């Protein structure tokens, strides 16, 4: 049976990464957790390793898509004859990562090529959802499908689907691009409700800068896909 590897891009998440790794390791069928420490200034990598993850470190921050690619390449090098499925999780999920099981099952059963999480319990967001609306409308125009949570980074996919979507779109445009590229190539994409939650972005200048970068990257991913 095909196993599942969890890949967790992480930057400055020392306070939550240990709990996230422990929860990921408890998932059925998961036999490998890879944390990509993307230029953290804290002890993210050390905490992740102590929790049982294999850790890859970028000496400088290279962005989410680059971290995802580094993690997937590490899994490929460790795979046997049958490649593992890939489950991407955010570093700040903490213990709620235990609820990722429903994302794995449809892929393991051959019912979907990629699953995308829909958080049942929504945290209060500091922004106004303009990036989400941009991504949702862009995906709908490109594919005819309207996702509920287009930017959700909790995704499980087969190695075949992952390779078909490479190279990944840069930065925060990666989720939007993954969805469009796989649907256009005929892969089956399904949203799955899960009881997971991550830290909400706030309203300070750092949060506003984060959303601006998200908007830029999503807009670029849509633009190059017509």
* Burial of 205 (C-beta count, 10 Å sphere; 0-12/13-18/19+): exposed
pLDDT tens column, 170-187: 889 999 999 999 999 999
Q: Does residue 127 surpass a pLDDT of 60?
A: no
Lowest mean pLDDT among 3-7, 144-148, 206-210: 206-210
Q: What is the pLDDT of residue 31?
A: 94
How confident is residue 202, by pLDDT bands cut at 50, 70 and 90? low
The residues that bridge with 8 in the sheet, in sequence order, are 35
Q: What is the pLDDT of residue 226?
A: 84
The residue that leads in pLDDT, 197 or 17, is 17
Mean pLDDT (whole number) for 127-152: 92
Q: Does residue 3 surpass a pLDDT of 80?
A: yes
Q: What is the pLDDT of residue 123?
A: 57
Q: What is the pLDDT of residue 199?
A: 72
Cα–Cα distance measured from residue 208 to residue 214, given in angstroms and rounded to the nearest whole number: 10
Mean pLDDT (whole number) for 74-88: 95
Query: 128: helix, coil or strand?
Result: coil
- The token duo for 7 is 């890949």
Q: Does residue 210 surpass a pLDDT of 90?
A: no
Q: Does residue 124 surpass a pLDDT of 80?
A: no
Q: What is the pLDDT of residue 179?
A: 98
Q: Does residue 154 surpass a pLDDT of 70?
A: yes
Q: What is the pLDDT of residue 190?
A: 98
Q: Does residue 200 surpass a pLDDT of 80?
A: no
Average pLDDT over the chain, rounded to whole?
93
Cα–Cα distance measured from residue 94 to residue 35, given in angstroms and rounded to the nearest whole number: 14
In SS3 terms, 51-117 reads as CCCEEEEECCCCCHHHHHHHHHHHHHHHCCCCCCEEEECCHHHHHHHHHHHHHHHHHHCCCCCEEEE
How confident is residue 96, by pLDDT bands cut at 50, 70 and 90? very high
């Amino acid at each position: 049976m095909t196993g599942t590897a969890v890949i967790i891009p992480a930057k400055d998440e020392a306070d939550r990464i240990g709990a996230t790794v422990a929860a990921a390791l408890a998932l059925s069928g998961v036999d490998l957790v890879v944390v990509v420490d993307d230029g953290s200034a804290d002890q993210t990598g050390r905490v992740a390793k102590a929790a049982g993850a294999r850790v890859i470190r970028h000496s400088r921050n290279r962005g989410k898509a680059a971290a995802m690619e580094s993690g997937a390449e590490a899994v490929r090098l460790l795979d046997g004859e049958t490649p593992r499925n890939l489950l991407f999780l955010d570093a700040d999920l903490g213990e709620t990562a235990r609820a990722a099981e429903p994302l794995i099952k449809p892929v393991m059963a051959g019912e979907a090529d990629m699953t995308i999480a829909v958080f049942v319990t929504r945290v209060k967001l500091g922004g106004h959802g303009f990036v989400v609306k941009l991504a949702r409308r862009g995906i709908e125009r490109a594919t005819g499908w309207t996702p509920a949570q287009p930017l959700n980074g909790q995704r499980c996919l087969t190695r075949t689907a992952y390779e078909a979507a490479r190279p990944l779109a840069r930065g925060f445009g990666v989720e939007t691009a993954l969805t469009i590229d796989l649907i256009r190539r005929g892969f089956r994409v399904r949203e799955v409700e899960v009881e997971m939650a991550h830290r909400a972005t706030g309203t300070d200048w750092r949060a506003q800068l984060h959303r601006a970068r998200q908007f830029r990257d999503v807009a670029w991913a849509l633009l190059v896909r017509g």
